[in-house]
Structure 1
């Protein structure tokens, strides 16, 4: 691996990506709701705090709203709401809870009776639609790791049908509700959160177009733009996402971060210029030329495929899956990735 010094540790606190969150102090809020012991706190701990799934067994039940600010490429908040509280009670400030909400994530334990939590979900959707119809509603059919494939799908279909019927009965036929089968013991929870976060990114369409152009001009079969902090991918090209490809790219992030923590070293922040009074102009120019570039790495897999990683900045990393003959023209790939990186910077500069 070359220049593997710049990727952030998952526990590091990083700032906002230029253009994502700096134009306003508002932070999108992800609200985790559901019945007690449905797995809300475990999800938050695994995805955003790198807790091993087996250790979530020892988490205590949430007794009050846990407000967790996430500092990454886009600053946002994750609120873990206790399942035993009735937030529709008049004593709760409805506007304070839902006023700046980006997405409501309702977690349903697929291994337990779900009629009661489903009823509360319906009540919540009806209440939200009256005042905040633009909120994204996401349903995680959770803890499906111990269920058969047939039972998973049957459960998901039943939840979808009951919800659709309830909303139709109340005259809400156009409410968009998304459903995901999730588990903290595999990559499905990261895949689901990727889809949730992508809906909050105004520049998503432009990012996908840029990745499509990069793939077509570089012989890349699949490309992901990952948030290093959480291993959520904020964008990918338009080709279908193969779960196995996503998993290997996600695991690649862990390898690179671990190596960077051992062998990495600090560098000056981008845009930092040496003081002209401290050294001669020639020395400053030489230091700038010798400054380490973005981290990059190439791994050749046994099946003949190649994983190509390039750090975009300390928040984001581009990971591409390509065939061995494509990487033989590495100079072309490197050049195209640099063009993509420059275009990405311009996209977010415009959004500032």
Structure 2
């Protein structure tokens, strides 16, 4: 059980060729770096180790591996046991503009990476991000993605490793949040408890949709949609919008704890929930009053304060 007496340490490798966007990506997601600061990021020449605290007791040990060919050889061969042991998740980045022999060379490095994972961390999961899609004409993006997707999947076969998903990403929009939300969700234990707790809360509040976000990164932890539309990308778009709004408020030294949006078709409330999360509640029933939703959220928060357990333990109180 993911409880308050143990810190869950999950090792995550971030790999890919130089200038594929690895450092920019984790700084945007986990360090909340404003986009304008990304131009100041230099070249990663040594393993950059970042400890990310997520959902209270979950600690992600993120290793950003340099992408220069000579540096990669050192980590892929000389130090492979150290780097690839006890890995929970590998995130591998390809630069979408890399083509021809350079792309084939990168695929060889990718296959060597999978081989090392298969040897030292056979139970690990792999996520591939084809990054910088903003550099590709919108009309060509589907064709480019499908071509690269097919080649990467083909070269992923024959290893004792599960390639969970391949994403087309860009640090400027919600595709980044979609990818990383699914990545961290694979690191969170007891996700069934979290989902069932949200489902119960959604029903008790007479809401149409409930989404749970991690407070610092704004990544989606889980969601419930009673209409089963399963349009997760809209939640990632909300993540991006709220994060930029919060950054603007921080620069203006304004602390925002609750956001309310009302239209003719729906009402939305976004409020701080547990110590490490905030929650979005959407409802369309005119018989449901916003004040009633606020009361239910505040009552739940009081329940959470009565125990010293993890975020998952607290959410179990909703069941």
Answer whether TM exceeds 0.5 for this pair.
yes
User: In structure 1, what is the equivalent of residue 271 of structure 2?
Assistant: 310
TM-superposed CA distance for 1:312, in Å, is 1.9
Verify the 8 A CA contact 2:214 2:277 in the aligned structure 1. Answer: yes
Verify the 8 A CA contact 1:214 1:337 in the aligned structure 2. Answer: no
- Corresponding residue to 2:189 among 202, 211, 224: 202
User: In structure 1, what is the equivalent of residue 281 of structure 2?
Assistant: 320
Find out whether 1:243 has 2:233 as its counterpart.
yes
Q: Distance in 1 between matches of 2:109 and 2:51?
A: 26
Say which structure, 1 or 2, has more relative contact order (CA 8 Å, 6+ apart): 1
Find out whether 1:32 has 2:18 as its counterpart.
no
Q: What RMSD, in angstroms, separates the aligned Cα atoms of the two structures?
A: 3.2
**How do 1:263-342 and structure 2 match up within 5 A?**
297-302=258-263, 304-323=265-284, 325=286, 327-328=288-289, 330-331=291-292, 334-335=295-296, 338-339=299-300, 342=303
TM-superposed CA distance for 1:46, in Å, is 1.2
User: In structure 2, what is the equivalent of residue 185 of structure 1?
Assistant: 172
TM-superposed CA distance for 1:20, in Å, is 5.9
**How do 1:105-144 and structure 2 match up within 5 A?**
105-113=91-99, 114-144=103-133
Q: Distance in 1 between matches of 2:236 and 2:264?
A: 16
Question: In 2 relative to 1, CA 59–29 (structure 1 residues): closer, same or farther, beyond 3 Å?
Answer: same
User: In structure 2, what is the equivalent of residue 152 of structure 1?
Assistant: 141
| TM-score, reference length from structure 1 | 0.73
Residue ranges of structure 2 left out of the alignment (5+ in a row):
none
Q: Distance in 2 between matches of 1:237 and 1:108?
A: 32
Q: Distance in 1 between matches of 2:245 and 2:95?
A: 32
| TM-score, reference length from structure 2 | 0.80
User: In structure 2, what is the equivalent of residue 270 of structure 1?
Assistant: none
Give CA deviations for 1:129-163 in whole Å, capped at 9, x if unaligned. 12312111010110012324453333332333223
Q: Distance in 1 between matches of 2:241 and 2:194?
A: 23
- Corresponding residue to 1:75 among 27, 44, 59: 59
Q: Secondary structure at the match of 2:9?
A: coil
Instruction: Count residues in correspondence.
Output: 300
Residue ranges of structure 1 left out of the alignment (5+ in a row):
1-17, 265-294
Question: In 2 relative to 1, CA 252–305 (structure 1 residues): closer, same or farther, beyond 3 Å?
Answer: farther
Verify the 8 A CA contact 1:105 1:138 in the aligned structure 2. Answer: yes
Tell me which structure has the larger Cα radius of gyration. 1
Q: Distance in 2 between matches of 1:21 and 1:97?
A: 29
